[in-house]
Amino acid sequence: MLKKEPDHIRELVRIRYADIVEGGDEPKSCCDSSASCCSPVDPKEISKKLGYSAEDVEAVPKDANLGLGCGNPQAIAALKLGETVLDLGSGAGFDCFLASPQVGADGRVIGVDMTPEMVSKARDNMRAGGYKNVEFRLGEIEHLPVADNCVDAIISNCVINLSPDKQQVVNEAFRVLRPGGRLAVSDILAFAPLPSKVRLNPYLLCGCIAGATPIDEFKEMLQQAGFTKVNIETKPESREFIMNWFPGMGLEEFVVSAVITATK
């Protein structure tokens, strides 16, 4: 049974994603090892199904793509040369490394992750790939280690749903964005009320399901933080891969992958 205390939730997520990057055979905390969201069999093939191109999956260091996601924020962020980009929950660095050539030598990419093992792996991948405009910082997305008004674009891939305080996450995103800056993320949202057996299941929390916010509620969070031009586009085609995360549970009847954009 899932305890709802924020620190307990963070610790479950932290332990599980440390286990993923360390390649443990047995889950140490909350995620069923059969769930592709949590323990992918073939990260490259999973990423292609989520909207990444074959060139994308081959363009990064081999250990950067863990197949953890529910979409492709690169496809919606429209990054430009010279911009500063922030990735919330950057994992082993996959999206950061794809963003690197898009912002160029005069741009900057910052990845933030709360799991020390992920940050260490991302830094190893950064050095292996020779990325000069990318850096990784250890921190919680509810308390970003980033200054005010310094980021042009924020990306994130299936991470905000893991937070126990999503309003604080979007408040922080608003704080660090420059005026005119934009949010462009992929995440899992709920389109129907989650049954208690889903909401209180720790496996489904780390599996990106139990923490899904209702679509209208997430839109209100963004507006409350101060964002304008809020748009949430659900992806019906995500039904297939969500069905495979936890086969036989019918979770595709409650949650969907969504593309979320907003402007400061």
Q: What was the pLDDT predicted at 176?
A: 98
pLDDT of residue 3: 57
**Which pLDDT does position 30 carry in this prediction?**
39
Topology of domain 6-263, CATH: Rossmann fold (3.40.50)
In a 13 Å sphere around the CA of 131, the CA atoms on its Cβ side amount to: 33
What is the reported pLDDT for 230? 98
Q: Which residues contact 98 (CB under 8 A, 6 or more apart)?
A: 56, 59, 60, 74
Could you write out the three-class secondary structure of 61-129? CCCCCCCCCCCCCHHHHCCCCCCEEEEECCCCCHHHHHHHHHHCCCCEEEEEECCHHHHHHHHHHHHHH
The reported pLDDT for the residue numbered 178 is 98
Per-residue pLDDT of the chain (264 residues), as tens digits, is 555 677 777 888 888 888 877 774 443 333 444 444 444 457 777 777 777 777 877 888 888 888 788 888 877 889 999 999 999 999 999 999 999 999 999 999 999 999 999 999 999 999 999 999 999 999 999 999 999 999 999 999 999 999 999 999 999 999 999 999 999 999 999 999 999 988 888 878 888 898 999 999 999 999 999 999 999 999 999 998 898 888 899 999 999 999 999 999
In the chain, where the domains are located: 6-263
Q: At what angle do helices 94-103 and 116-129 cross, to 10 degrees?
A: 40
| Segment (H or E) for 243 | helix 238-245
Residues 6+ apart with CB under 8 A from 150: 84, 176, 178
What pLDDT score was predicted for residue 34?
Answer: 42
CA distance 213 to 169: 13
- φ/ψ of 190, rounded to 5, equals -95, 135
